[in-house]
Amino acid sequence: MNAVLTLTATLFFGADVAPTADVLVVVGAPGTPEYGKQFDEWASRWEQAAQRGGASVTLLGRAAEAVPTDRERWQTALERAAEERQRPLWLVLIGHGTFDRRTAKFNLRGPDVSAADLAGWLSRLERPVAVIDCTSASAPFLAAVSGPKRIVITATKGGHEQNFARFGDFLSQALTDPLADLDKDEQVSLWEAFLAASRRTAEYYQTDGRLQTEHALLDDNGDGQGTRADEFVGLQPAPQAQSRAAALDGTLAHQWHLIPSPAESALPHDVRTRRDAIELQVVALRRRKSELPETEYYAQLEALLVELAKLSLGK
């Protein structure tokens, strides 16, 4: 069986019905059968969620063939992904990572992939991309691949967090968990899944009486710094986060839904795209509030909110 296993209508091999998104799940070298079983479970959850949401899903790293290598197959898959420019690509990395104080790597069967390798491969993609690295020592990948129209999630806040990361387990569960839907819009955004998984990871260590050795980050504003879940209470910034110099992340990730609600699915593509763009403009304007005269700020805000209202009414 080919290691690149297409489970639904997929971008890479063509389809009669265009998928809502493309999901590429890369499963790394497990190291032990115990880890292999866990990684298969996490990958299966992503597979099932993608199918429910009408996305294509491709799995790498599960089949027995050694030639070509998993690294070569991954690179080829991203070269094909570069042919699409609009549909979102979810790139999910499941496995182990390493960091030697110079280079962070994702461990594969055969040659590994470094953060610099992945950044080079992704440089050809003009489409929206979410890179979700669920491995230990994954934080250096965030700065390496951060960029416009891109969401980056890592299971750790630094390369020094090298113990086995459980974040990926909780993230794969949150995708289909109604409790993760914090704004109650009948869909779980990538931002909500990140928050839920981060909090459940912390609860795991607290309940087990252990020192927490992983702290996930999310970057979606392109500054390469990332935001932790404990900087938010629910979906709102925590008081201590208000004074941080770097802008908080989460706005773009809150617009990504692997399993969209019926209402979201019913929106025409152009309406959804315009709505998302206006929402990002509102957030950017609010961050500049202190720089603008009060009348100008509220005039700009009103214009954006009126346009949002018209879109919601189908005008």
- 233-285 pLDDT per residue, tens: 998 888 877 666 578 899 999 999 999 999 999 888 889 889 999 998 998 89
| CB-CB neighbours of 133 under 10 Å | 33
Q: Does residue 220 contact residue 247 with C-beta atoms inside 8 Å?
A: no
In this structure, what are the phi and psi dihedrals at residue 27, rounded to the nearest 5 degrees? Answer: -100, 120
195 and 293 inside one domain: no
What CATH number is attached to the domain comprising 102? 3.40.50.1460
38 and 114 inside one domain: yes
Can you read off the two tokens belonging to residue 252? 């773009």
How many domains does the structure of the chain reveal? 2
205 and 242 inside one domain: yes
278 and 149 inside one domain: no
Which own/partner contact pairs does 207-213 have at CB distance under 8 Å and 24+ positions apart?
Answer: 213/161, 213/163
**Within the chain, which residues score under 70 in pLDDT?**
1-17, 66, 242-245, 315
The pLDDT of residue 245: 58
Can you read off the two tokens belonging to residue 92? 């999910």
* CB neighbour list of residue 212: distance below 8 Å, 6 or more residues apart: 201, 202, 205, 206
The pLDDT of residue 221: 93
Closest by CA position to 3, among listed 68, 44, 63, 43 = 63
End position of a domain, from candidates 245, 261, 277: 261
141 and 179 inside one domain: yes
Nearest-angstrom CA–CA distance, 129 and 16: 23
26 and 153 inside one domain: yes
Q: Does residue 222 contact residue 211 with C-beta atoms inside 8 Å?
A: no
For the chain, strand residue ranges (E) read 5-6, 22-27, 56-60, 89-94, 97-99, 104-106, 113-114, 129-133, 150-154, 217-219, 232-233, 236-237
189 and 292 inside one domain: no
End position of a domain, from candidates 246, 261, 276: 261
The pLDDT of residue 16: 53
Q: What is the dihedral of CA 277, 261, 142, 128, to 10 degrees?
A: -50
Nearest-angstrom CA–CA distance, 40 and 32: 12
* CB neighbour list of residue 263: distance below 8 Å, 6 or more residues apart: 185, 186
- Provide the 3-class DSSP secondary structure of residue 57: strand
128 and 257 inside one domain: yes
In the chain, the percentage of residues whose pLDDT exceeds 90 is 77
In the chain, the percentage of residues whose pLDDT exceeds 70 is 92
Q: Does residue 171 contact residue 205 with C-beta atoms inside 8 Å?
A: no
174 and 314 inside one domain: no
Strand (E) or helix (H) holding 202: helix 190-208
283 and 245 inside one domain: no
> What DSSP string describes 247-268?
PP--TTGGG-BSS--HHHHHS-
- Domain around 296: 267-315
End position of a domain, from candidates 244, 261, 278: 261
For 107-187, strand residue ranges (E) read 113-114, 129-133, 150-154
170 and 191 inside one domain: yes
167 and 272 inside one domain: no
Can you read off the two tokens belonging to residue 187? 């869909």
